[in-house]
Amino acid sequence: MTELTEVLIESDKVFEGRLISVRKDTVRLPNGRTSTREVVVHPGAVAVVPMLEDGRVILVKQYRHAVGKILMEIPAGTLHPDETPEECALRELREEIGYSAGRLEKLTSVYLAPGYSTELIHLFLATDLQPAEGETDEDEFLKPVTLTLDEAIAQITDGEIQDAKTVAALLLVWSKQMSREITSI
């Protein structure tokens, strides 16, 4: 739909960090006027719902400096160069909760905040979990928490789980389970 497309006129990198870069783009709007867009460039990430055989899920509590509080999240991490989303998901499971997955199912991919960020997060469900060795990142401090899926959904509803990728992935898994239950009736 070309009547909605913005055309890039100029792009200037204003910040280059370890994880992200920021650029200031000048665009031509569909009505012919120009505007400025500030864009956070991110390499992409994965987030994984690790589900135990009994249906419980493993989340992690982690302090998030940007929001100034501890959040409950599913294991997640940034893609390394030349790493597939599946490889990243398996690596993050080992690093954050000490498990490997016998089965990894892609749920979907979602943009974090497309109004200002390029970050695309690939969401997975991991099952057939087995304990595995993994080395936690030296600047990451996590506390694993195990909940039933219903408890996790209740925490979303109550506003206790506020992390968007976690909300989306858990609701997708819950929806898949509800669909299976309905079709088996």
Q: Where are the domains of the chain?
A: 2-41, 45-183
- As a whole number, mean pLDDT of residues 168-184 equals 87
As annotated, the active-site residues are 138
pLDDT at 59: 98
Lowest mean pLDDT among 13-27, 47-61, 134-148: 134-148
Q: Which residues of 127-160 are buried (b: 16+ CB within 10 A; e: fewer)?
A: eebeeeebeeeeeeebeebebebeebbebbeeee
Which CATH architecture does the domain made up of 45-183 adopt?
Answer: Alpha-Beta Complex (3.90)
For the question of whether the overall pTM of this predicted structure is more than 0.85, the answer is yes
**3-class SS at 183?**
helix
Residue 180 has pLDDT above 80, yes or no: no
Share of the chain above pLDDT 90, in %: 89
> In the structure, what pLDDT confidence band is assigned to residue 3 with cuts at 50, 70 and 90?
confident
Lowest mean pLDDT among 1-5, 47-51, 150-154: 1-5
* Structure-token match 């992690």, residue found: 60
pLDDT at 130: 96
- As a whole number, mean pLDDT of residues 109-114 equals 96
pLDDT at 68: 97
Residue 2 has pLDDT above 90, yes or no: no
pLDDT at 138: 78
pLDDT at 1: 63
> In the structure, what pLDDT confidence band is assigned to residue 48 with cuts at 50, 70 and 90?
very high
CA dihedral (172, 177, 183, 185) positive or negative: negative
Residues 28, 6 contacting (CB under 8 angstroms):
yes
Residue 184 has pLDDT above 70, yes or no: no
Q: What CA–CA distance (Å, rounded) separates 34 from 73? A: 39
Neighbour count for residue 106 (Cβ, 10 Å) = 13
